[in-house]
Amino acid sequence: MQKRQFLNTVACAALALTAGNALAQDKFKIGLILPMTGPFASTGKQIEAAARLYMAQNGATVAGKKVELIVKDDTSAPDVTKRIAQELVVNDKVQVLAGFGLTPLALATAPLATQSKTPMVVMAAATSSITQASPFVVRTSFTLPQAAVAIADWAPNNGIRKAVTLVSDYGPGIDAEKFFKDRFTFNGGQVVDSLRVPMRNPDFAPFLQKVRDLKPDAVYVFVPSGAGAALMKQFAERGMDKAGIRLIGTGDITDDDILNSMGDVAMGVVTSHHYSTSHASALNKKFVAAFEKANPGMRPNFMAVGGYDGMRVIYEAAKATKGAGGEPLLNAMKGQIFESPRGPMFIDAQTRDVVHNIYIRKVERVNGQLYNQEFATLTDVKDPGKAK
Ligand code: PHB
């Protein structure tokens, strides 16, 4: 046996053993890995706040075990996420890994979840293929194809025949582009150009200039949560709205976390997404009020809901398995069906992916504040990316 191969085998055996040891603990440990600093810190802050709210509301013990939430900052660097995940599994002996603010961070950790048989709850990342990267992945966020297809159906019925797509150049952006383009074209629309901007520190100006020159009816945009404000600012500065080019996209662009600071340029922007702070259900009103009370000045966005629902899935699975980790815990996550602040949702037992409603929303001012006001609903949307 080669030395490297041998070391690998030893490492795998150690991981498998540690997963077993988790059973004997009197604590139920959740390793929550998030970008808490850097350009995607808003995602980490939202998810941590929501996870803590869930614990405050549902008690800090589950199946007689004290729940310990271990929050770690991965600074949105995939190698750091992976290293932290390994430490959490081997040293802290967590029963479950959770968080994952961006697709590359989830993909970097998936092989470790498989080797160590540790369930991995993806609360933020949204590229379709993530659930296929490990049989231990369960997702409570959303998928870009779910949102993209919905707005591609809405647009051609609402005066948009010619569109340009503008997406962040990585997993979720590629999904957002492909699924919009295929569906929009199928519906008789025309995508005249597809532009991809760098994921980190993007300068949107040259891309927006290109869009202006092409004069489409609309520009369809995906940028990850946290990047929408910069895009909106440059959209306004270039006078795109005044040039008659409409802005549409998945709801990541009108992120509730920062929407209020975007100002008039955001007014009337139509997007598709699974969650809006203003979702009109009793459960959501309660959730928003409790979140805002516990976190003054913050508004829960779709990241917060992914975290809150992820905690629900973990707690209920832990109750069902009396605090065990590993495969029993994973199996108890599959098929869970419940009401989320976003509306009804379930974890598809076959794909381990989230199934939920997608809403078409328009930015409006309500009591002096900007909100994504839902006006149409597609019910029980499965990930279209899984049909392939
Ligand atoms: C992702 O990296 O998968 C991701 C991040 C932020 C979003 C959506 C997707 O808003």
Residue pLDDT, tens place only, 289-305: 999 999 999 999 999 99
Q: Does the structure show a pLDDT above 60 at 23?
A: no
Neighbours of 111 (CB within 10 A): 13
Q: How far is the CA of 70 from the centre of ligand 1 (A)?
A: 22
In the numeric block, the tokens 């994504």 are attached to 372
Q: How confident is the model at residue 362 (pLDDT cuts 50, 70, 90)?
A: very high
* pTM to 2 decimal places: 0.94
Determine which residue's CA is closest to atom 7 belonging to ligand 1.
224
The answer for residues whose C-beta is within 8 angstroms of residue 268's C-beta and 6 or more apart is 362, 363, 364
The answer for residues whose C-beta is within 8 angstroms of residue 279's C-beta and 6 or more apart is 341, 342, 343, 359, 374
The closest alpha carbon to 80, from 104, 96, 51, belongs to 104
The answer for residues whose C-beta is within 8 angstroms of residue 178's C-beta and 6 or more apart is 145, 148
Q: How far is the CA of 170 from the centre of ligand 1 (A)?
A: 10
Classify residue 24 by its DSSP letter. Answer: G
Mean pLDDT along residues 237-243: 90
The closest alpha carbon to 160, from 59, 270, 264, 267, belongs to 270
Per-residue model confidence as pLDDT tens digits over 331-347 = 999 999 999 999 999 99
Mean pLDDT along residues 84-110: 98
The number of the ligand 1 atom at minimal distance from the alpha carbon of 223 is 10
Q: What percent of the chain has pLDDT over 70?
A: 93
What whole-number distance in Å separates Cα of residue 318 and Cα of residue 95? 9
Q: Does the structure show a pLDDT above 70 at 220?
A: yes
Which residues lie across from 262 on neighbouring strands? none
The answer for residues whose C-beta is within 8 angstroms of residue 344's C-beta and 6 or more apart is 337, 338, 356, 357, 380
What whole-number distance in Å separates Cα of residue 245 and Cα of residue 241? 5
For residues 141 and 306, is the Cβ–Cβ distance under 8 A? yes
* 253 pocket-lining for ligand 1 (C-beta < 6 Å): no
Which residues lie across from 139 on neighbouring strands? 122
Name the residue of 252, 274, 353 whose CB sits within 8 Å of the most ligand 1 atoms, as the mutation to test its pocket.
252
Q: Does the structure show a pLDDT above 80 at 310?
A: yes
Quote the pLDDT of residue 262.
Answer: 92
The closest alpha carbon to 256, from 313, 216, 298, belongs to 298
Classify residue 135 by its DSSP letter. Answer: T
